[in-house]
Amino acid sequence: MKTKERKDLHTKSLAELRTLLKSAKETLLDYNLEKSQNKLKNTRQIFLKKKEIAQILSVMREKEIEK
């Protein structure tokens, strides 16, 4: 996730963040499935997707604390 995309997370609402989180988790599940079937060429994608999920969760927690 690029810096601009990370900054855009702070402008989104909790509902939008939840949908992003859901899609990111589904993508991670697909990557893990492809890895287990030896179809995934770039295994670094798994690490990057986990990092993206963590960033989304962090922003969601910050917004919950603000309320």
Where in the chain are the domains? 19-66
| Tens-binned pLDDT, residue by residue, of the chain (67 aa) | 778 888 899 999 999 999 999 999 999 999 999 999 999 999 999 999 999 999 999 999 999 999 8
3-state secondary structure of 20: helix
Q: What is the model's pLDDT at position 36? A: 95
Whole-Å CA distances, 38 to 5, 33, 35, 59, 62: 30, 9, 5, 33, 38
**First-to-final CA distance of the chain:** 26
DSSP letter string, 36-59: HTT--S-THHHHHHHHHHHHHHHH
Q: What is the model's pLDDT at position 12? A: 93
* Measured torsion, CA atoms of residues 34, 47, 21, 67, in degrees rounded to the nearest 10: 170
Q: What is the model's pLDDT at position 42? A: 93
